[in-house]
Structure 1
């Protein structure tokens, strides 16, 4: 299978962009609507360049070094940032990843709404890559995991809280406020305001909650509320994202009310995010940038070094309500004999703290073993141990589908019948 040429379909991401500094205030928004490119892609097709509009009057342009006119630092300042170079070396990023792209990954869309200078496009690509690599690693390593446990494991590896913790571990600091004069090595975002707290315990609220009528009018209708009532595991795998969360779908008809388009654009421009959301977007954008600049192999190595290398005890993600019933259904489905609980040993039966050891057997095979302060507790723990022993089966050699393109023959992995349905 032929590989894709990244430079042909991702020129808007790979080509570094600059902002002209010699423009007047009245041309600022005109430029931001049509940014020009000073660089050319390394391909046969030439990239057309746009010229800066000349001012109508004879006033002198502002100082070119006045970066306060820009919402985010220009890419030309990336090579002069020691903090950015240190981050590039600390993460052992590929040499093909330029500092301009790394600086772009640190700019959240809330800080700069221009898609040519924020990490929105890179974050979408990195979000899909993280979900794909994490899902195939978990499903190939534990092919018998239930759906709920699989979704919880994927969230534990690449969820928002985990990616925010990774950002802190990398030593990335957040700027107090975004701006063109800020060092490009800081994570820039427009932070969300605090909740409706009181000022120094005086009872004076920071926000006015008089517009409750508007919030009540924007509540979803009963048809939209029924979408949130779906709790089945099958619906989460079909309709929701790879975390099992419902995808927010907004259907807005701009043809009947064109003024809504401008309101939505203004709402996006004034959007503020939390520190966790900005950190999550940075890690996802960096994942996508490594994939575009260095290729698939370097991206997968970066994923294994920083995400998949984190320890996760999958056995603690299980929660059984009636383990003895589930074990009986599992044995009936797999053609085993009915499970029977037998006491293996005991100590201190008439004391204050007795201990009973119970084993669950299917014929002559022992499925699980558990101990407890009573016979019922030990029997339930033995059934839980037997179920975990079945679901946590892992093959000796784990291979994922993404390794099939490296020239090695593909060997199919185990496809289990699924979790027990009671």
Structure 2
């Protein structure tokens, strides 16, 4: 009878076993050289076939996880389960024709995802054009005598980036800390600028007279510049970080563009009128005259009025330290304006400014018809609006 060695058994049991990695069904084969290797040894030191002797037919080792493709924006499937996105859709009172997937796309800026199929660049371009059209036609028909500088300033006040940022925040839209596929689709996603980082400057301008010795007049601003009279830079990459106000502006414009595509032009116009044109703007505060007395005299000469004359209407405290003079500007028997000041010259200047504002702020009424009203069914015959000769050139 063969004698057994207990200490050898205990060494085999107490020896640390190699850790097994989780495996999956996989076909593997050994090399031909390994099949005719030496005979199998019944020893605890034999580790079996080495990793060099194994060929994985699927090209992967045991336990290796597949690397999933990461996206820069949330998938479209996540829009259906986002409560923030559904609440925003209901808060704005949008039509059911506008799906949540399109609403989620309006919240992805081009700086977060450069893919044009998933960002809001195209929708913002369309919505910006529609918004500028409705704002411009309303300003021109409501205030037909506004100078171009005031018209640019008023358009910027209604649909500029700072105003659209306030509109987006009033809608309850919040920004995400960083864009990514794990972000809730109800957050505004864009690449934020770091503190101390300068604004991205475009290389040159699209203007043909971009050289310094050319004069950038008002006529060239109307032809070559954007809807606010600012120069259009070229060579600017859309995926660069941008300020928060521009990201909000692109989002609001994209919402207008999506409404136009899914609900029509009438719904887009009603949306712009309810959220943009309903804001109150004191256009009288935008004026700033350099020579109001001279400009008023040129205006009266152009319109065939009598030469304006300043007359003192009342005064008090002429001999005191704080006198007050009330001066009126008259053209014949018609009073054009009135102003008051601590001196007769100051009161005369303010009266001329008041007369010029009364001329430029002429309005046929807030309910004036605009050209886009003719797109509605059953619209009555169009009546031409008042077209002014333009501002005074002096």
TM-score for both structures, normalised by structure 2: 0.79
Cα displacement string for residues 164-217 of structure 1 (whole angstroms, at most 9, x for unaligned residues) = 1111111110000001011000000111222169xxxxxxxxxxxxxxxxx9xx
* Maintained 8 Å contact 1:228/1:246: no
Shift in CA distance, 414/57, structure 1 to aligned 2, threshold 3 Å: farther
* Maintained 8 Å contact 2:106/2:120: yes
In structure 1, the partner of 2:120 is 119
Q: CA deviation at 1:230?
A: 3.6
Say whether residues 1:390 and 2:359 are aligned partners: yes
Runs of 4+ in 1 over 6 A off after TM superposition: 60-64
Q: Of 289, 305, 313, which residue of structure 2 is paired with 1:336?
A: 305
**1:308 aligned counterpart, secondary structure:** coil
Q: CA deviation at 1:361?
A: 0.2
Q: CA deviation at 1:61?
A: 11
In structure 2, the partner of 1:128 is 129
**1:361 aligned counterpart, secondary structure:** strand
In structure 2, the partner of 1:421 is 393
**Structure 1 gap ranges (5+):** 1-55, 198-214, 251-263
Q: In terms of mean alpha carbon deviation, does 385-394 or 344-353 score higher?
A: 344-353
In structure 1, the partner of 2:36 is none
* Maintained 8 Å contact 2:204/2:234: no
In structure 2, the partner of 1:239 is 224
For 2:364 and 2:257, the matched residues in 1 are separated by 30
- Two-structure CA RMSD over aligned residues (Å): 2.4
For 1:350 and 1:119, the matched residues in 2 are separated by 67
Shift in CA distance, 225/118, structure 1 to aligned 2, threshold 3 Å: same
For 2:375 and 2:59, the matched residues in 1 are separated by 61
In structure 2, the partner of 1:405 is 375
For 2:249 and 2:155, the matched residues in 1 are separated by 15
Matched residues, number? 328
* Maintained 8 Å contact 2:109/2:190: yes
Q: Of 250, 270, 280, which residue of structure 2 is paired with 1:301?
A: 270
Say whether residues 1:283 and 2:268 are aligned partners: no
In structure 1, the partner of 2:102 is 101
**1:69 aligned counterpart, secondary structure:** coil
For 1:292 and 1:144, the matched residues in 2 are separated by 34
Q: CA deviation at 1:333?
A: 0.3
Cα displacement string for residues 7-30 of structure 1 (whole angstroms, at most 9, x for unaligned residues) = xxxxxxxxxxxxxxxxxxxxxxxx
In structure 2, the partner of 1:361 is 330
In structure 2, the partner of 1:248 is 233
Q: CA deviation at 1:226?
A: 2.0
In structure 2, the partner of 1:311 is 280
Q: CA deviation at 1:272?
A: 1.4
In structure 2, the partner of 1:373 is 342
Q: CA deviation at 1:93?
A: 1.2
Shift in CA distance, 282/416, structure 1 to aligned 2, threshold 3 Å: same
**Structure 2 gap ranges (5+):** 1-56
Shift in CA distance, 160/351, structure 1 to aligned 2, threshold 3 Å: same
Greater per-residue helix proportion: 1
Shift in CA distance, 344/169, structure 1 to aligned 2, threshold 3 Å: same
Q: CA deviation at 1:314?
A: 0.4
Q: Of 269, 272, 295, which residue of structure 2 is paired with 1:326?
A: 295
Q: CA deviation at 1:248?
A: 2.2
Q: In terms of mean alpha carbon deviation, does 91-100 or 385-394 score higher?
A: 91-100
In structure 1, the partner of 2:167 is 166
For 1:194 and 1:153, the matched residues in 2 are separated by 31
For 1:393 and 1:61, the matched residues in 2 are separated by 76
In structure 1, the partner of 2:318 is 349
Q: CA deviation at 1:161?
A: 0.7
Shift in CA distance, 341/157, structure 1 to aligned 2, threshold 3 Å: same
* Maintained 8 Å contact 1:177/1:188: yes
Cα displacement string for residues 366-392 of structure 1 (whole angstroms, at most 9, x for unaligned residues) = 000011111001000000000000000
Shift in CA distance, 391/97, structure 1 to aligned 2, threshold 3 Å: same
In structure 2, the partner of 1:79 is 80
For 1:70 and 1:116, the matched residues in 2 are separated by 13
For 2:270 and 2:64, the matched residues in 1 are separated by 48
In structure 2, the partner of 1:28 is none
Shift in CA distance, 268/420, structure 1 to aligned 2, threshold 3 Å: closer
Say whether residues 1:145 and 2:135 are aligned partners: no
